[in-house]
């Protein structure tokens, strides 16, 4: 089976298993316009409902082929809305049978953070390529488990870092890489929003979320610090701010962290579930750049010290992300958010929590060898 499916993945991606089994002409199936990978979304919460599923209607290289849900009433809703065949609808118990479903090439795990590892590993074992929503997991150990499972199964692994496919973010990376303003000396990144909704939401439950603002939004600030310097940090210190412990009983409300980078640049980040902040700034010897907003669903906005604006046509970040991953699978194009990037960020998150636990102590980081910047 693995051989047949590997062959399918690289040669003929069509409208579903039925087509592949039919006498459908191979030449037609091989035409570029028909190479659309089938994606199954695992977990039909608001991100799948309002972002991923709509984006998958516009993607060029993949499409919404299936869903996996623990809520039976959603099965028919999604089937009706998106024309998903019953055979491509799974629950958490029968999910592993997805191994036998050739309609599904990619499993996108959009569950609460603590469930990422289990379902990514099950998806890999089912022979499916995996996109794991950010944060990748709730520990470095789980990230390793996911990476190892994907490697063992020979499937691709991406993390749902939509900004890695986003043009403003990539313009920042280009300016940093080309040293258009000279050497970078400082980076600041802020990612957060004021969250005072349902007190029973999983994001407030440490067992499900693994952490609070840091794991939810802080990973964007961490990524901003990294793409804004083009370097992995070599140390970090951090502080936690708790002002509303009745609401944030279990998870971090606000965190500041400071990075040191190999070239001597300093990074200063803030993440919060109590403040609406959404900015990126890099200061160079001969100028600066900024994004504001920097990490929402867009359109983002940016400007340079020259007075120029950064401007790109708005496209769904989720659409761009999923097409990038599909092209990685189909054509070997770069994986813009590989599992190692998610693991690197979780190493940093764990160091931040460690620093907080140790009263703000500076924690050395050894990420250089990971080679994943951006």
Q: Which of 191, 215, 162 is nearest to 268 (CA)?
A: 191
Residue 183 exposed, middle or buried by CB count within 10 Å (0-12, 13-18, 19+): exposed
Binding mask 312-351 for a copy of itself (x = CB under 8 A): ----------------------------------------
Q: Taking the complex as a whole, how short is the minimal distance between the CB of residue 275 and a copy of itself, in angstroms?
A: 4
> Which secondary structure element, helix H or strand E, spans residue 5, and what is its range?
helix 2-11
| Cα 52 from Cα 319, distance rounded (Å) | 8
Q: Taking the complex as a whole, how short is the minimal distance between the CB of residue 289 and a copy of itself, in angstroms?
A: 12
Q: Which of 229, 231, 241, 267 is nearest to 362 (CA)?
A: 267
> Which secondary structure element, helix H or strand E, spans residue 141, and what is its range?
helix 140-153
Options 134, 260, 336, 343, the catalytic residue? 134
Q: Using alpha carbons only, how large is the chain's radius of gyration in Å? A: 21
**By CB under 8 A, is residue 288 in contact with a copy of itself?**
yes
Whether 133 contacts 47, CB under 8 Å = yes
Nearer to a copy of itself, 142 or 290 (CB): 290
- Per CB under 8 A, which region of 122-130, 132-140, 168-176, 186-194 contacts a copy of itself? 186-194
Binding mask 229-248 for a copy of itself (x = CB under 8 A): --------x-x-x-xx----
Q: Taking the complex as a whole, how short is the minimal distance between the CB of residue 6 and a copy of itself, in angstroms?
A: 49
| Cα 22 from Cα 19, distance rounded (Å) | 5
Q: Taking the complex as a whole, how short is the minimal distance between the CB of residue 220 and a copy of itself, in angstroms?
A: 15
Whether 228 contacts 282, CB under 8 Å = yes
Q: Is 297 a catalytic residue?
A: no
Helix/strand/coil for 334 = coil
Binders in 258-287 for a copy of itself, by CB under 8 A? 258, 260, 264-266, 268, 270, 272, 274-277, 279, 281, 283-285
User: Catalytic residue numbers?
Assistant: 134, 220
Site residues (vs a copy of itself, CB under 8 A): 185-186, 188, 190, 192, 194, 237, 239, 241, 243-244, 254, 256, 258, 260, 264-266, 268, 270, 272, 274-277, 279, 281, 283-285, 288, 290, 292, 359-362
């Amino acid at each position: 089976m693995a051989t047949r499916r590997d062959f399918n993945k690289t040669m003929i991606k069509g409208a579903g298993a039925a087509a592949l089994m039919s006498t459908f002409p191979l030449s037609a199936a091989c035409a570029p316009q028909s190479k659309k990978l089938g994606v199954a979304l695992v977990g039909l919460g608001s991100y799948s409902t309002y972002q991923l599923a709509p984006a998958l209607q516009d993607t060029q290289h993949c499409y919404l082929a299936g869903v996996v849900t623990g809520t039976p009433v959603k099965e028919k809703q999604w089937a009706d809305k998106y024309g998903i065949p019953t055979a491509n609808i799974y629950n958490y118990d029968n999910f592993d049978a997805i191994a036998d479903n050739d309609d599904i090439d990619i499993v996108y795990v959009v569950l609460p953070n603590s469930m990422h590892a289990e379902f990514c590993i099950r998806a890999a074992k089912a022979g499916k390529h995996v996109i794991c929503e950010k944060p990748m997991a709730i520990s470095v150990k789980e990230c390793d488990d996911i990476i190892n499972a994907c490697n063992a199964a020979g499937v691709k692994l991406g993390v749902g870092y939509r900004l890695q496919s986003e043009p403003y973010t990539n313009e920042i990376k280009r300016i940093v890489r080309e040293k258009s303003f000279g050497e970078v000396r400082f980076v600041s990144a802020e990612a957060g929003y004021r969250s005072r909704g349902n007190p029973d939401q999983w994001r407030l439950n440490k067992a499900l979320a693994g952490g609070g603002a840091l794991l939810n939004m802080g990973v964007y600030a961490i990524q901003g610090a990294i793409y804004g310097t083009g370097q992995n940090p070599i140390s970090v210190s951090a502080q936690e701010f708790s002002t509303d412990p009745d609401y944030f009983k279990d998870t971090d409300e606000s965190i500041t962290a400071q990075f040191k980078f190999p070239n001597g640049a300093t990074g200063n980040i803030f993440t919060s579930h109590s403040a609406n902040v959404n900015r990126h700034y890099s200061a160079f010897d001969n100028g600066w750049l900024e994004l504001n907003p920097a990490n929402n669903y867009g359109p983002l906005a940016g400007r340079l010290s020259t007075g120029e604006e950064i401007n790109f046509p708005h496209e769904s970040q989720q659409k761009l992300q999923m097409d990038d991953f599909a092209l990685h699978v189909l054509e070997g194009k770069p994986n813009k958010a590989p599992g190692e990037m998610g693991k690197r960020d979780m190493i940093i998150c764990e160091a931040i929590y460690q620093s907080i636990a140790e009263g703000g102590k500076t924690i050395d980081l050894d990420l250089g060898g990971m080679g994943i910047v951006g």
